[in-house]
Amino acid sequence: MLTTGVVSAASVGPDGACNGTAGSRCTRIAPVILAGGSGTRLWPVSRENYPKQLIDVVGSDSLLQATARRMEGFPPGWNVDAAPIIVCGEEHRFVIAEQLHENGVEARLIVEPARRDTAPALTLAASLACADGDDAILIVMPADHSIADVRALQGALECAARHAEQGAIATLGVPPTRPDTGFGYIRIGAELPDGGHVIDGFVEKPAEEIAAQYVAAGTYWWNSGIFIVRAHVWLDTLQRLQPDMHAACERAFANGHTEGAYFRPLEDAFLSTSANSIDYAVMERLGDADTSSGAVPTGVVVRLDAGWSDLGSWDAVWAAMEKDACGNAGRGRVAFEGAVSSYAHSEGRLVACVGTNNVVVVETADAVLVVDRSHVQDVKGLVARIKAQHAPEADAHRKVRRPWGFYDSIDRGERFQVKRIVVTPGAKLSLQLHHHRAEHWVVVRGTALVTRGDEQFLLSENESTFIPLGTRHRLENPGKVPLEIIEVQSGTYLGEDDIVRFNDSYGRCS
């Protein structure tokens, strides 16, 4: 669980309130995790429906789970919310809630009806953080980054939080180790007495020769994408710099509604705002903004030396991992023989690299990627081409997670498809029908409660049933062990969009 820091002269009560004496800080901090990205550069492990923040590419935790842990043991003197605010998309909300629950983190999830980049996402989070009348400092972190030294990160965040207390908008900058053209850069200005620098400007992904000049100058740092700002400071600044976005997000939040652990902004209002990043919408405009309508906060950048990586490519994953004497790194069932500076990732089958040099090999159940490390940035274009061909490998894995469990597409042909379906205890699929396919179910483990038309009956192991085309049906697991069935679909069209839902426990009905 996330912990709350206290100072010797103050304490935080069981209700989370600060019971401090004069001179104690106990300022409230609300962690915000932005989890709406797609991460196509880490294909084929990262897919549109299961992006990189949900996968475990550099540790036992997923990147999201690792991000949620980073406020644990934050330096004393701050009142850190135990429940982070997570902003995510509809298609990922169940997996995100499940992963955080596995780690003992009960989060507050804001479900965006569509992606509108990071500025609108942060605006919704700031509105939620202010909803109880308090004004927390937001520590805003992308869900898909890697940090080697969490204590060093927390030290930089604490320095930035002190600036945010005084009304600044702070970010963390990473001193560059190479002239990387895949990052944005922050030009640092005057040094401040209590740590950090005034932001002197931003540069977006320069050419290689310009990036080399930045590294040599020593006055340009990589933009980490981590921001620290008081909730009301963000909202007030956005209202001055982006009034249309502020108005749309304010209306979306004010007219939104809560469903259990999920908050849903008003869809029409949220979709009316333009997509824009925190950098473009606000940070890059702080220096030249019109201050006639009110003071614009100072932009501050604090140095981050913590082994940061945005894991924006397979080469970045290789760089973040431990390597053997020849510079090779691997994950899963991999073997190297005479290989140098190579990376191998296996999701199941043995991947053997013999005599390879600077090569990345990634294996999943339905795709294999082989790419020179100097061309890993081209993977994004490859995925776009695969997507344009309407190939299923662009969006989903063979194994697809659902709020009730998962299914694995074992085999398929022109007029048939075979799936292995696993339903968690107590869960049930929606009441549904299909216009273009019939289904045969065989129970291989557990007990199934089947609804078929007006019938309802139990099936045990080695028993089966048939669901005719156009028949309303539902599959439930009333038992205490996972229910596993083999489903054989047959028909003229077998796509996942041939589902008409009449009743659903997970809010997926139209």
Band the pLDDT of 23: cuts 50, 70, 90: very low
User: Are residues 321 and 381 located together in one domain of the fold?
Assistant: yes
Which of these ranges, 14-28, 37-51, 259-273, has the smallest mean pLDDT?
Answer: 14-28
pLDDT digits (tens, 9 = 90+) for 128-147: 999 878 889 999 999 999 99
Residue 394 falls inside a structural domain = no
Q: Are residues 335 and 464 in the same domain?
A: no
Domain identity same for 290 and 345: no
Q: What is the Cα–Cα distance from 44 to 351, expressed in whole angstroms?
A: 15
Give whole-number Cα distances, 75 to 78, 108, 154, 161, 471, in Å.
7, 23, 7, 11, 59
- Domain of 122, in residue numbers: 10-309
Is residue 423 located within the same domain as residue 334?
no
pLDDT given for residue 204 in this prediction:
83
Coil, strand, or helix at residue 200? strand
Spatial separation of the C-alpha atoms in residues 337 and 346, rounded to whole Å: 16
**Is residue 25 pLDDT above 70, yes or no?**
no
Q: Give the pLDDT confidence score for residue 24 in this predicted structure.
A: 44
Q: What pLDDT does residue 295 have?
A: 64
User: Looking at the 3D structure of the chain, how many domains does it have?
Assistant: 3
Q: Is residue 281 in some structural domain?
A: yes
Give the CATH number of the domain where residue 261 resides.
Answer: 3.90.550.10
Reduce the DSSP state of residue 462 to 3 states and report it.
Answer: coil
**DSSP secondary structure, 211-260, as one string:** HHHHHHHS-EEEEEEEEEEEHHHHHHHHHHH-HHHHHHHHHHHHT-EEET
Q: Is 370 contained in some domain? A: yes
Residue 62 maps to a domain = yes
Same domain for 89 and 194, yes or no, is: yes
- Tell me, yes or no, whether 2 lies in a domain: no
Task: State whether 47 and 87 are in the same domain.
Answer: yes
> Is 122 inside a domain boundary?
yes
Question: Residue 78: which of 153, 140, 138 has the closest Cα?
Answer: 138
Look at residue 5 and tell me if it is in a domain: no
Q: What is the DSSP letter of 14?
A: T
**Same domain for 241 and 189:** yes
Residue 209 near residue 138, CB atoms below 8 Å: no
The tens digit of pLDDT for each residue in 455-495 reads 999 999 999 999 999 999 999 999 999 999 999 999 999 98
Q: 112 lies in a domain?
A: yes
Long-range residue pairs from 351-360, CB within 8 A, at least 24 positions apart, any chain? 353/328, 360/314, 360/315, 360/318
Indicate the pLDDT class of residue 310, thresholds 50, 70 and 90: very high
- Closest by Cα among 58, 50, 65, 40 to 376: 40
- To the nearest 10 degrees (0 to 180), the angle between helices 231-241 and 243-254 is 130
The predicted structure's pLDDT at residue 383: 94
Cα separation, 493 vs 481, whole angstroms: 32
pLDDT tens column, 397-407 = 999 999 999 99
pLDDT at 510: 52
Q: How far is CA 65 from each of CA 103, 104, 155, 325, 487, rounded to the nearest angstrom? A: 7, 10, 20, 30, 33
Q: What pLDDT does 235 receive?
A: 96
Q: Which helix (H) or strand (E) holds 65?
A: helix 63-68
199 pLDDT higher than 50: yes
Strands 455-459, 108-112: pairing kind: unpaired
Do 294 and 341 belong to one domain? no
**Domain identity same for 347 and 433:** no
Asked if residue 179 and residue 75 are part of one domain, the reply reads: yes
CA-nearest of 30, 26, 225, 237 to 128 is 30
Q: Global pTM? A: 0.86
CATH number assigned to the domain comprising residue 417: 2.60.120.10
pLDDT at 198 over 70: yes
| Predicted confidence (pLDDT) at residue 58 exceeds the cutoff of 80 | yes
